[in-house]
Amino acid sequence: MKQTAITTTAILLLFLAGCVIETSKEDTIKLGAIMSLTGFASDYGTNSQKGAQLAVEEINANGGINGKQIELIFEDDRTDGKAAVSGATKLIEIDNVDAIIGGTWDLSLEPIAPLADQHNIIIINPSTGNTKDTRLAKNVFITWPAIKYQVYELEETLTQENITTAVVIRNAGAWSQSQETHLEKLLEKINGSILKLMIGYEVDNNDFRSEISIAKQLNPDLLYLGLGYNDAANVVQFTQEQDFHPVIVTLSGAFEYAIEKGSIKKEHLKKTYIPDVIPNENTEFYKKFETRFGKPPGITADTAYKAVMLLAEAWEKTGTTNTDEVRDYLNSLDFFDENGDAKKPVPVRKIESRTYVE
């Protein structure tokens, strides 16, 4: 009799333990994040990581989503497409996440985009403009401003500076190629043209001295750079060495990092404009981030924060993490266009003063 009682008690305890584990799982929403925590784009990836962490901490501190806490699981894509696919596959098949934030840049996003539809899971990217004029996948959304919106915001600046001719120096990636395509369309609209295109085939380790010499001879109104921050810094150095001072435009946030790292001097950028994607110090997000991490937010921190907040809103409003319902909710928001790209306006500013161009 005693043996039977012990056996019955043991079975009951095992059953209850199983119930506790299952309840704990059901009370958690799993959010995967695939970001460049190492590798060439680690500045962007670690900024995104902090932005996502801030959002999750804020949501959980306020009771979570309909009583459920968010568990944030990171994978490092190392700014490598194969690593991104491997990390995303792990998040989907092993961690069983409900959605994914990432990857970093088009180098990681475009390889993992097909997984969104194959596995019917939402992926929201915070750190690359869509390089295509179509949707990457029905379940992919992007909170980073689309390349076309950033380029077309330059129209007023180009008109004010009387720019009709440009030389483009870019790398060979789809991101910079898309910029060239949209810049060409914009210049045609204002009766301008690209005089010459020059391409560097290293990701961010090109020597553009000879290209700057050629550009100087052509004497364009605009030098447009589709480059990373090392190359962008080198180009500015070479323009100074060769006494070449055109208006310069870049989209990448490269100059902010080059200035921060001491690679170039701010006074060498007196005629440089950028679509401003760096978090503004007057925003609530900026203040919250600085309080939490003890430093200002870097590029993509705010768009990663926004990505998590949009997912949280969709989960809360629909009352589910079901991909089809969440996708329909996100598509209904005015924040995204028909391609799932962020269509928010991107102000243009002059780097010299860090003031916004009216």
Q: In Å, what is the CA distance from 287 to each residue of 258, 279, 296, 297, 329?
A: 24, 10, 8, 9, 29
pLDDT digits (tens, 9 = 90+) for 163-214: 999 999 999 988 899 999 999 999 999 999 999 999 998 877 889 999 999 9
Handedness of CA 213, 214, 217, 220 (dihedral sign): negative
Q: Taking the C-alpha atoms of 240, 244, 245 and 251 in order, what is their torsion angle to the nearest 10 degrees? A: -80
Read off the pLDDT band of 243 (50, 70, 90): very high
Q: Is the pLDDT of residue 60 over 80?
A: yes
CB 168 within 8 A of CB 197: yes
The reported pLDDT for the residue numbered 16 is: 41
At 352, the pLDDT band (50, 70, 90 cuts) reads low
Number of helices followed by number of strands (H, E) in the chain: 13, 13
Write down the pLDDT at residue 356.
Answer: 37
Query: Residues near 302 by Cβ (< 8 Å), separated by ≥ 6?
Result: 51, 279, 283, 285, 286, 289
Contacts of 19 (CB under 8 A, 6+ apart): none
Q: What is the mean pLDDT of the chain?
A: 88
The Cα–Cα gap between 302 and 293 comes to 13
Q: Rounded to whole angstroms, how far apart are CA atoms 310 and 323?
A: 14
- The structure's pTM equals 0.86
Task: Check residue 257 and give its pLDDT.
Answer: 67
- Count Cα atoms within 13 angstroms, Cβ side, for 161: 24
Rounded to an integer, the average pLDDT of 327-331 is 99
Residue 317 scores a pLDDT above 70: yes
Q: Three-state SS for 32?
A: strand
pLDDT band at 276 (very low <50, low <70, confident <90, very high): confident
CA distances 162 to 89, 140, 278, 348, 350, Å, are 50, 38, 26, 16, 16
Query: Is 140 a residue whose pLDDT tops 50?
Result: yes
Residue 3 has pLDDT above 70, yes or no: no
Distance of CA 247 to the CA centre of its chain: 26
**pLDDT of residue 1 exceeding 70:** no
Residue 353's pLDDT is 52
Percent of the chain topping pLDDT 70: 89
d(CA 141, CA 63): 26
What is the rounded CA–CA span in Å between residue 132 and residue 112? Answer: 15
263: confidence class by pLDDT, cuts 50, 70, 90: confident
Per-residue confidence band for 130, with pLDDT thresholds at 50, 70 and 90? confident
pLDDT given at position 39: 92
Sign of the torsion formed by the C-alpha atoms of 173, 179, 184 and 185: positive
Per-residue pLDDT band at 357 (split at 50, 70, 90): very low
Residue 270 near residue 248, CB atoms below 8 Å: no
Q: Which of 49-63, 265-279, 324-338 has the lowest mean pLDDT?
A: 265-279
Q: What angle, rounded to 10 degrees, do the helices at 209-218 and 229-241 form?
A: 60
Angle between helices 81-93 and 105-118 (to 10 degrees): 30
For residue 255, what pLDDT band results from cuts at 50, 70 and 90? confident
Nearest to 206 by CA among 178, 181, 225, 221: 225
Going along the chain from its start, the domains and CATH numbers come out as 27-145+283-342 (3.40.50.2300), 150-279+347-356 (3.40.50.2300)
> Which has the closest alpha carbon to 186: 157, 143, 225, 146?
157
